Structure 1
Amino acid sequence: MRRLTTALAAFLLAGAGMTAATASVAAHHGADRPAVCRAVDWGSRPKARAEADTKPLTDIRVGRHDCFDRMVFDVHIPGDHPIGYRVHYVDKLYQDGSGSMIPVRTGAVLEIRVAAPSFDVEAGSARYPGRAGKPLPGVDLSGFRTFREARFGGSFEGDTQVGLVVRARLPFRVFQLGNHLVVDVAHSWRELR
């Protein structure tokens, strides 16, 4: 009965509207932001997992979320095998194999290496149409809060390299979801507290 009374009181107060002071306190403590913005424990240190099985990269996609921008690597890997990766901030982006510097916009550069070549060795054909030093095909970053530019570094010795320019050295996370490797970069450090 006490819960019903409390719920009814809360309903009536909500119906009457919040005072400006209550709204200000709620906003200050982050009540207006999704819980994920306040609850994550990311960082900006390198993240890696040794590769277990190398299969071709088929696509790279991006998406915007309330608290972060997301890049997804689709890997043609059967079942739930782990996808190897290394993701870390670099001062400059150098193409794997040739060592040539890839010019990018101003910002922090997140180098992403995925243990998935852009070509299918067994079939002898390209699976992902990226070209070294060029923007990622089909990826439009206009309107993103954190992502600024994405360049295809190349595919060399079973790895695909991507340079992702973000507006600052922000916290990020990397995880695998089925046949997808996901890289999320937070919009700010403050939102993660």
Structure 2
Amino acid sequence: MRRWTAVPMALALAGIGAAVAPVTASAVTPTAVVTVCETGWGSLTKTGGAATEDYRYMTGVRTGTHPCYDRMVVDVPGSSPAKPVKYRIEYQDSPIRTTTGDEPIPVAGGKVLNIVVWAHTYDADWNRTYPMRTGEKLPGLDFTGYPTFVEARGGGMHAGETQIGLGVRDRLPYRVFQLDNRLVIDVAHTWGTTS
């Protein structure tokens, strides 16, 4: 009898085991996060500001990367949307030419944004305010992991105009605007509306 009791019990346990078989997780596809980017900035030459009697000088150049664009900020104390610093920015091929036109400066990247800002790199007492050197990489900038920016080099300073060559991956849309004490340049990662 014990055998018959053991067999039905074993079958019953086998049935219970089948009923509580482990449930396997089905593959879950995460919802992709899509960033909608403004891209109507265009890639033609951009100018702004006006000549001023105020003595303007640069104190720094900073960069950062965002979901839709890479950003360069040129610090110019005393400038503002109401008193903008004068600038001219346009795409060129490498090498760019210095503001005096006599020295070619190779800049890495598919295209180069030639940035000219009407601000000195020293103050009215001839103290250096930004340590940029013609032809050399801008100090303190590292573009590792940036989708768009490749390299930035000093293009020199002449007659109050400071030049920067910003190497980018390709000719991409960009915008320029001014905030208190700074000129902001954003270069999009793509021509599309998503990133």
**Which letter maps to 2:74?**
F
Query: What is residue 25 of structure 2 aligned with on the other side?
Result: none
Answer whether contact 1:52 1:82 (CA < 8 A) is retained: no
Please state if 1:185 is matched with 2:187: yes
Q: Which has the larger radius of gyration?
A: 2
Q: Where does residue 150 of structure 1 map in the other structure?
A: 152
Unaligned runs of 5+ in 1: 1-18
Question: 1:119 is paired with a residue of what secondary structure?
Answer: coil
Contact 2:39 2:191 in 1 (8 A): no
The change in CA–CA distance for 1:177 and 1:149 in structure 2 (over 3 A counts) is same
Counterpart CA distance in 2 for 1:135 and 1:94 is: 15
**Bigger proportion of residues as helix:** 1
Query: How far apart are 1:56 and its partner, in Å?
Result: 0.5
* Correspondence for 2:161: 159
Identity of counterpart residues, as a percentage? 44
Q: Is the 8 A contact 1:111 1:161 kept in 2?
A: yes
Where does 1:1-193 land on structure 2 (aligned, <5 Å)? 23=31, 32-35=33-36, 37=37, 39-53=38-52, 54-77=55-78, 80-92=82-94, 93-120=96-123, 122-191=124-193
Structure 1 stretches of 4+ with a deviation exceeding 3 A read none
Q: CA deviation at 1:50?
A: 4.0
Long gaps (5+) in structure 2: 1-27
> How far does residue 78 in structure 1 lie from its aligned partner after superposition?
5.9
Deviations 1:133-157, CA, capped at 9 Å, x for gaps: 0000111111111000000111111
Taking structure 2 as the reference length, what is the TM-score of the superposition?
0.77
Do 1:43 and 1:172's aligned partners in 2 also have CA atoms closer than 8 Å?
yes
Amino acid at match of 1:60: V
Residue 179 and residue 85 in structure 1: after superposition, are their counterparts in 2 closer, same or farther (change >3 A)?
A: same
- CA RMSD between the two structures: 2.1
